[in-house]
Structure 1
Amino acid sequence: MGVDHYITNLSASASAVVAFAEARNKIAAVTEFGATTDGIDDSTNANYYMDFLTYIKNDAVARKVAWVLTWRNGSPTHYWVPRIEDIHYDGFLKFFNDPFTAFENDIGDYYSYNFGTSIAPFCGLRGCEAGETCSSCPGDCGLCLMQKQDPIAHWQFDDASGATALDSSGNGNTGMLVNGPSWATASENNSLRFDGLNDMVSVEDGPLLSFTNTFTLSAWINLSAVDRSQSIISKGKCNINWVEYALEVGSDNKPRVFFSEKSADNQIVVASTALGPNTWYHIVGTYDGSAERIFVDGTLSGSLYTNHAMFDSTANLTIGARETDGSTICSGDNTVKELSGSIDDVRIYNRALTAEEIKSLYNAGASGTTSGARVSRPQHPTGLTAW
């Protein structure tokens, strides 16, 4: 996405939170002269924009926020801000007692820059290109300052044979093939097939696979059967452990991501997109500590704003089915929500990927389309600077 406006008419040395979205409004919340933001002041390049936003949100009387400048159809408009009630990264900006409800829509990513004698430039077209980093170009490379860039687990399923699925992240999360999921042929680039009966991949629990309040679950799937509940990624057992987190397809054929909070209530967001059979889809679920999101083929398909701490399950992580204890409450089976079809390129991150990162991941892996329907397995992305 290109940038068709630079921020202008801002006071010298004022800091600003810059927000923009595809084909929609551009918004800048401008602070007063001399305002400080938890260690980030007007003389500091405020790359740590989430701290900046949090400070504004927690300022009960909004002394630090002078006004909001918006662009509507290319024309700038000023609004005074009585109080900012809530802020979500890559989500919406909501005002307390503000009549302008249009601001409660998704307005894209938030970026904070220091404005000195000249306008701080955007780095490019929102792609994290060679030579750009999260700190030097947050507008292109997303929120990843001081965070591990690589997935903490990555099963490419390129093993082609054997009873284990190797973890290419280097973190040793080797998966054991249970009940015989089969390796796809070389022409299908070695994805893993599940029979919908009791096949799964089981990965031993470890500290890297449990999260406090942020994660990303990503996989390519191709369903052979539909109109049934099917598990893509799950951590937790029925009746023994609450499910810590899961990426699934419901009986309505819509993907969903959820996690259990510490009070054992599930926080679920369901995609608006229903999946069909015999088609490759890229499914991603994220939680950034304030919102859950579900993406289908690189596009946001559902969101839920929630800020609960996550339950920590000691159960193994499973791919292709959810493991149970075989009790009556679990229908007397040892596995439930068995997936019928193929799964490939499963990734888990301990942070929420940005919408731009997810789109890039989808674009890099997409291939083999016929009339818009994916008929061949995607290629593994390579050389993705953002991760």
Structure 2
Amino acid sequence: MKSFKPMLWASLVALVVGTAGRAAPAESQKSSALNNDPHLVGWWKFDETTGKNAADSSGKNHHGTLEGGASFDTLSTSGRIGGAIKFEGKDDCIRIAGWKGVCGQKARTIAAWIKASAPSGAIISWGTEEPGKMWTFGYVRGRIGVVPKGGYYYMKAETHDDTWHHVAVVLQEASPPNLHDHVKLFKDGEPAEVHDIGLLDLWPIDTGDKLDVVIGKRFKGLIDDLRVYDRVLSEDEINALFKMQGDSQSNKNTK
């Protein structure tokens, strides 16, 4: 068999290098689009190391304040991306004073990195303490899911293994939306298999606006790069968000 001519080898090398070179800008564009999305209404990186204030990087000024005698001086730690906050699962939490979250039947997406050491507590919550009026994303019966108060909807897979996991939830807008038909859960960039809970997953959702947004209430473990969008992110976007964030740290999904 005759060997390839030098010109052909050069062409093949140029093609491979060119294709690889175009991949990085594509990922960078996805990252930029998700970070600068006008529907990103809350983004807490938790990179602070001192004080009691958690900055909102969405540009919407939904800054938070640590409560329960906690501060970043004691709760700041190394995160999945930069720094993270470590909640003790007691009375420590972050309150976004004056912001009521994404309310009513409006579409929304929440995404975060978590490293939980116990299957309890909320990643983020808001609403009104009435049936169907709360919106809590966190642990439900030991699994990550959603509680609108009255019903619940959660994934089968465990995530409290003291390992970093990317979790997300999407609510599609409807009149009214319900857990079964309009909520999707994601784990590590992929749609999660959901536990069958019968009629409870048909509970209607109409989130109230009485309570401030609270992060980390009774959560035990680390939370990093928490985002709230007031629109539905597609499966591809959530996967891109997971990959974008996951690739930014060398020890991917490690303890």
Q: Normalising by structure 1, what TM-score?
A: 0.48
Identical aligned residues as a percent = 22
Q: Structure 1 132/345 Cα, relative in aligned 2: closer, same or farther at 3 Å?
A: closer
The 3-state SS of whatever aligns with 1:374 is coil
Partners of 1:199 and 1:130 lie apart in 2 by: 36
The 3-state SS of whatever aligns with 1:222 is strand
Residues 242 and 313 in structure 1, CA contact (< 8 A), matched pair in contact too: no
Equivalence map 1:119-268=2 (5 Å): 129=26, 149-179=38-68, 180=70, 182-185=74-77, 189-206=82-99, 209-224=102-117, 226=118, 228-236=119-127, 243-252=133-142, 254-259=143-148, 265-266=150-151, 268=152
Partners of 1:186 and 1:271 lie apart in 2 by: 27
The root-mean-square deviation of aligned C-alpha atoms, in Å, is: 3.3
How far apart are 1:131 and its partner, in Å?
Answer: 11
Q: Structure 1 359/306 Cα, relative in aligned 2: closer, same or farther at 3 Å?
A: farther
Q: Structure 1 212/250 Cα, relative in aligned 2: closer, same or farther at 3 Å?
A: closer
Larger-gyration structure (1/2): 1
Residues 201 and 318 in structure 1, CA contact (< 8 A), matched pair in contact too: yes
Q: Structure 1 311/278 Cα, relative in aligned 2: closer, same or farther at 3 Å?
A: closer
Q: Does 1:294 align with 2:190?
A: no
Task: Identify unmatched segments of 5+ residues in structure 1.
Answer: 1-127, 134-140, 142-147, 322-337, 376-387
Residues 241 and 313 in structure 1, CA contact (< 8 A), matched pair in contact too: no
Partners of 1:205 and 1:233 lie apart in 2 by: 15
- When structure 1 is superposed on structure 2, of 150-159 and 207-216 the one drifting more is 207-216
Equivalence map 1:68-147=2 (5 Å): 129=26
Corresponding letter in the other structure for 1:184? S
Q: Normalising by structure 2, what TM-score?
A: 0.70
Corresponding letter in the other structure for 2:163? T
How far apart are 1:246 and its partner, in Å?
Answer: 1.4
Count of aligned pairs: 210
Equivalent position of 2:225 in the other structure = 345
Q: Structure 1 167/363 Cα, relative in aligned 2: closer, same or farther at 3 Å?
A: same
How far apart are 1:282 and its partner, in Å?
Answer: 0.7
Equivalent position of 1:281 in the other structure = 165
Which is richer in helix? 2
